[in-house]
Amino acid sequence: MVEQITTQVYRIEIPLPEMTLKSVNSYVITGEDRNLIVDPGMGSTECMEALRAGLQEIGIGLQRTDFFITHFHIDHFGLAPLVVDDASTIYMHAAERAIIERITTGSLFPELADASRMNGFPEGELQEALSFFRPLDVHTWKRPSPFTLVHDGDILSIGEYRFTCILTPGHTRGHMCLYEPHKKILVSGDHLLNEITPVVSARFEGENPLKDYLASLQRIYLLDTDRVLPGHKDIFRNGKERIRELNDHHQKRAREVLSILERGMKHAYDVASEMTWDIEFDTWDSLPAIQKFFAIGEAIAHLEYLVDTGAIRKAMCGNTVVYVKNKTVQ
């Protein structure tokens, strides 16, 4: 399905039939010399067919077309290596390219497994969760032409548009939005979504993605936007209101985590098991292992945020990271 948003800007809804979100928004900006596709979708037959059909409806092809990737997640980036040609450019932040390299070299998932064990994830469930990622292995992808790395503040000119690249870490470390100040358009990727809350997940020592995410939201709040073009669901206009809602959501979650630690020292898996989740399963035990994997990442993000504020502290208990509330915090 193609929707013309404004002059030379289109949205193609790319299906994700086996994923919870069901679809991803791919945006196309047409120009006289080059076209730009933002987030082409997953590397599947369904996505390929939908993208090609959408481009045909718009009246362009993949020739003279470049790609901007908001972040490395497979539902946004996966199709790009399959459709680029030798003349195409793939724009991406260095942090996103780095994690793709960790996946293609095979180092990321063992690191994720070790980090999950340290945070209390039971081994049997962990192996079941990691099996979810095996069909998505980037080793099976055609390696794309070299990335062109973009930095915060870089300008991409396509047709009558001059988009500013804005680094918005949180959902991922190198997540980037595109902002057109004269048209007041924000292409927000998964940084700012209207009907769902973007996942903010931590895994490794030294990360504080929730702190980064809240700071990124504040940065976007200061922009003069008329329309937000998100990575999923519908385009919307109430960007500032949505940012206030997301801030409130994460502060409420942080308070919930703090209240859980009132009951004593816990590791992240146990904290996640006591948090409230908007899911269709009655109990934590009945939740699929992959959903527990995502939940523990969100729990760690809130725990590390609270460590940074001084509300809680963490320590090692054997080989496991544990968190405890500071007594001085009221």
Residue 45: CATH number of its domain: 3.60.15.10
Residue range 271-279: mean pLDDT, rounded: 93
Measured distance CA(214)–CA(212) in Å, rounded? 6
| pLDDT for res 126 | 95
| pLDDT for res 136 | 58
> Is 324 a domain residue?
no
Phi, psi at residue 258, to the nearest 5°? -60, -40
Residue-wise pLDDT tens digits, 207-231: 999 999 999 999 999 999 999 999 9
| pLDDT for res 82 | 87
> Is 323 a domain residue?
no
Number of structural domains found in the chain: 1
> Is 259 a domain residue?
no
> Is 82 a domain residue?
yes
Q: pLDDT band at 328, cuts 50/70/90?
A: low
> Is 71 a domain residue?
yes
107 is in which domain, residue-wise?
2-113+134-246
Task: Convert 48-57 to b/e letters by CB count within 10 Å (16 or more is b).
Answer: bebbeebbee
> Is 35 a domain residue?
yes
Per DSSP, helices labelled H in the chain are 45-58, 74-77, 80-83, 94-104, 108-118, 123-130, 209-221, 239-261, 268-274, 289-309
Q: pLDDT band at 165, cuts 50/70/90?
A: very high
Q: pLDDT band at 298, cuts 50/70/90?
A: very high
> Is 51 a domain residue?
yes
